[in-house]
Chain A
Amino acid sequence: MKVKTAKNTSSAFKKKRAPKAAFFFLSLVGFCIVFADLLPLPFSPTALDLQHIYLPPLQTQDYIAGKPFHWLGTDHLGRDVLANIIYGCRTAILLSLPAMAIASALGLLLGGIAGFYGNKAIRLSITHVFTLLLTFVLAYYYGFYLPEYSFKESAVDATQPFYLKWLIFISILTTGLVVSKWLHKRILLPLNVSIPIDQLIMKCIEMLSSVPRIILILCLAAYTRPSLYNLILITGLTYWTEPARLIRAELLRVKTLNYIESARAMGLADFYILIRHALPNSLSSIIVAITFGTAGLISLESTLSFLNIGLPVDLPSWGRMVASIRNNFSAWWLVLFPGIALCSTVLSLQAVSNWLVYKLNPRNR
Chain B
Amino acid sequence: MLKFILKRMAYGSLVILGVLIVVFFLFQALPGDPVAMMAGQRTDVSTREAIAKDFGLDKSLPVQLVLYMKDLSPIAIYEDTPENQAKYDYSVLTNLGDNVLVAKTPYLRRSFQTNKRVDEIIIENLEGTLWLAFVAMLFATGVGILFGLIAALKQNTFWDHALVSLSVIGISAPSFVAAIIISIVFGYYLADYTGLNMTGQLWVTDPIYGRELHLENIILPAFTLGIRPLAIITQLTRSSMLDVLSQDYIRTAHAKGLNFYVIVVKHALKNALNPVITAVSGWLASLMAGAFFVEVIFNWKGLGWVTIKSVETKDFPVVMGATLFVALIFVVVNIIVDILYAATDPRIRLSD
Contact = CB atoms under 8 A, between A and B. Distances in A.
Interface stretch (B22-30, B75-83, B86-94, B206-214): B22-30
Contact of A6 (B22, B243, B289): B243
Interface string A317-354: 00100100110011010010001001100110010000
B277 interface: no
A327 B168 CA distance: 31
A223 B27 CA distance: 10
B311 interface: yes
Interface string A1-35: 10111111011100000000000000000000000
B30 A343 contact: no
B343 interface: no
Contacts, number: 131
A77 B322 CA distance: 36
A66 interface: no
29 contacts: A5-B246, A6-B242, A6-B246, A11-B156, A203-B14, A203-B15, A204-B18, A210-B331, A212-B289, A214-B289, A215-B319, A215-B322, A219-B27, A220-B26, A220-B30, A222-B314, A223-B30, A223-B31, A223-B32, A302-B176, A307-B308, A322-B176, A322-B177, A325-B184, A329-B198, A339-B177, A343-B172, A346-B174, A347-B169
A59 B182 CA distance: 26
Contacts of A210: 15, 19, 327, 330-331, 334
Main secondary structure on B side of the interface with A: helix
Nearest to A330: B188
Given A343-B169, A343-B174, A343-B177, A6 B245 contact: yes
B64 interface: no
Given A3-B245, A219-B319, A211 B22 contact: yes
Given A203-B14, A322-B177, A8 B242 contact: yes
B279 to A, nearest CB: 17
Contacts of B15: 203, 206-207, 210
Contact of B184 (A218, A307, A332): A332
Nearest to A199: B11
Q: What's the interface size class on B, roughly?
A: 35 or more
A6 B254 CA distance: 16
Interface in B6-38: 11, 14-15, 18-19, 22-23, 26-27, 30-32
B292 A3 contact: no
A3 B174 contact: no
B260 interface: yes
The 5 residue pairs across chains A and B that have the minimum distance between CB atoms: A299-B174, A6-B242, A212-B289, A6-B246, A223-B30
A204 B293 CA distance: 27
Interface in A267-316: 295, 299, 302-303, 306-307, 309
Nearest to B183: A329
Contacts of B169: 343, 347
A295 B18 CA distance: 30
A1 B254 contact: yes
A189 B160 CA distance: 68
Contact of B176 (A12, A204, A319): A319
A236 to B, nearest CB: 16
Contacts of A306: 176
A339 B156 contact: no
Contacts of B174: 299, 302-303, 342-343, 346
Contacts of B334: 210
B164 interface: yes
B146 interface: no
Main secondary structure on A side of the interface with B: helix
Nearest to B285: A210
A216 B19 CA distance: 11
A303 B293 contact: yes
A350 B312 CA distance: 33
B181 interface: yes
A211 B308 contact: no
Interface in A179-206: 203-204, 206
Contacts of B175: 303
A221 to B, nearest CB: 9
A346 B239 contact: no
B250 interface: yes
Most buried by B among A204, A218, A224: A218
A3 B251 contact: yes
A5 B181 CA distance: 39
Given A8-B239, A206-B15, A207-B22, 4 more contacts: A6-B243, A219-B319, A319-B176, A335-B180
Most buried by B among A12, A218, A219: A219
Contacts of A218: 308, 311
Contacts of A329: 184, 188, 198
Interface string B317-328: 001001100110
